[in-house]
């Protein structure tokens, strides 16, 4: 869906038709929210079952969407937790890498209001753009478009174009994200409350010598900060060779990187 769209109703109808054509979501059980309610035991269960024990469920048991390996190492659950909202700022490679990781593993993604984001790199990172819906011109209300897409896709990347979203509007969309177990990535704007911040800035270039050479990669200073936790940082090399782009953690450690609120 890359051409211009007309009215808001036309946009919504096109999105619904596109979602209806998707054969299945990524493999696995139904997507849970971050806090799925437990089933109340029936009377017979109460008589026969032993007394309940303290929960032993670890954080790693939460279902997640994949991320490039060096990014996943910085995340509390080693991936993007389903049902969460994530604010991403800085280098565009970070957004491209998330799309590549999700679609390359069989998930479905959407990119809203980012017509200039170069997605060729996503294929070089192992992504499958046949699994990515492109909505470069979502009309006057991109937030509503995102709210529709989280009903059926795994990852939705939404550029807000610099606007601040009112808390009441954000709460309604966030609840929809949690209910459907999607991940909503916010860029270029302010979402009142998010579960995870990810930021990246270019810290250096690879392949250039004094007076000659060509760029073969970039070093990114990356910071990941989950709500209520201390930030984690690393320098990540994104390099290209023979038509493929790889992500690796380097030994260098960047200075503190301020992530946009």
Task: Report pLDDT digits (tens) over 123-137.
Answer: 999 999 999 999 999
52 phi/psi in degrees, rounded to 5: -65, 145
By three-state DSSP, how is residue 43 classified?
helix
* Beta-carbon contacts of residue 189 (< 8 Å; ≥ 6 apart): 159, 160, 161, 162, 163, 164, 165
| Structure confidence by residue, pLDDT tens digits, 163-203 | 999 999 999 999 999 999 999 999 999 999 999 999 999 99
CATH superfamily of 8-20+63-197: P-loop containing nucleotide triphosphate hydrolases (3.40.50.300)
By three-state DSSP, how is residue 121 classified?
helix
Choice between 3 and 96, residue whose per-residue pLDDT is larger: 96
| Structure confidence by residue, pLDDT tens digits, 146-164 | 999 999 999 999 999 999 9
Task: Kindly list the domain boundaries of the chain, sorted by start residue.
Answer: 8-20+63-197
Choice between 195 and 256, residue whose per-residue pLDDT is larger: 195
For residue 113, pLDDT beyond 50: yes
Quick one: pLDDT at residue 207?
82
Q: Which two tokens stand for residue 246?
A: 């790889």
Quick one: pLDDT at residue 165?
96
Quick one: pLDDT at residue 242?
81
* Beta-carbon contacts of residue 11 (< 8 Å; ≥ 6 apart): 5, 135, 138, 139, 145
For residue 218, pLDDT beyond 60: yes
Choice between 10 and 131, residue whose per-residue pLDDT is larger: 131
- Does the pTM of the predicted model rise above 0.85? no
| Structure confidence by residue, pLDDT tens digits, 23-72 | 555 543 344 334 333 344 444 444 444 443 433 333 334 699 999 999 99
The span from the CA of 242 to the CA of 156, in Å, is 30
Provide the pLDDT confidence category of residue 216 given band limits of 50, 70 and 90. confident
Quick one: pLDDT at residue 215?
81
When computed from its CA atoms, the radius of gyration of the chain, rounded to whole angstroms, is 20
Closest CA to 114 of 160, 148, 178, 147: 160
For residue 240, pLDDT beyond 50: yes
Q: For the chain, give the mean pLDDT.
A: 81
Quick one: pLDDT at residue 67?
97
For residue 213, pLDDT beyond 90: no
In percent, how much of the chain has pLDDT > 90?
64
Average pLDDT for 99-116:
96
Average pLDDT for 238-256:
77
């Amino acid at each position: 869906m890359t051409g211009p769209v007309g009215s808001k109703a036309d946009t919504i109808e096109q999105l619904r038709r596109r979602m209806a054509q998707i054969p299945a979501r990524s493999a696995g059980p139904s997507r849970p929210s971050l806090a799925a309610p437990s089933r109340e035991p029936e009377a017979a269960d109460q008589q026969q079952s032993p007394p309940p024990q303290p929960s032993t469920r670890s954080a790693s048991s939460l279902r997640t969407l994949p991320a490039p390996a060096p990014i996943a190492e910085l995340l509390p659950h080693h991936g993007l937790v389903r049902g969460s909202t994530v604010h991403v700022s800085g280098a565009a490679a970070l957004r491209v890498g998330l799309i590549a990781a999700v679609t390359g593993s069989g998930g479905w993604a959407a990119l809203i209001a980012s017509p200039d984001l170069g997605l060729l790199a996503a294929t070089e990172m192992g992504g499958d753009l046949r699994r990515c819906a492109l909505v470069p011109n979502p009309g006057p209300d991109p937030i509503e478009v995102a709210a529709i897409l989280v009903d059926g896709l795994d990852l939705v990347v939404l550029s807000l174009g610099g606007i601040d979203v009112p808390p009441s509007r954000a709460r309604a969309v966030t609840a929809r994200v949690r209910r459907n177990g999607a991940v909503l990535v916010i860029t270029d704007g302010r979402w009142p409350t998010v579960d995870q911040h990810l930021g990246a800035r270019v810290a250096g270039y690879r392949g250039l010598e004094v007076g000659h050479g060509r760029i073969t990669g970039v070093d990114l200073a990356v910071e990941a900060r989950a709500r209520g936790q201390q930030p984690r940082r690393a320098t990540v090399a994104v390099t290209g060779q023979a038509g493929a782009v790889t992500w690796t953690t380097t030994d260098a450690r960047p200075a503190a990187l301020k992530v946009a609120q």
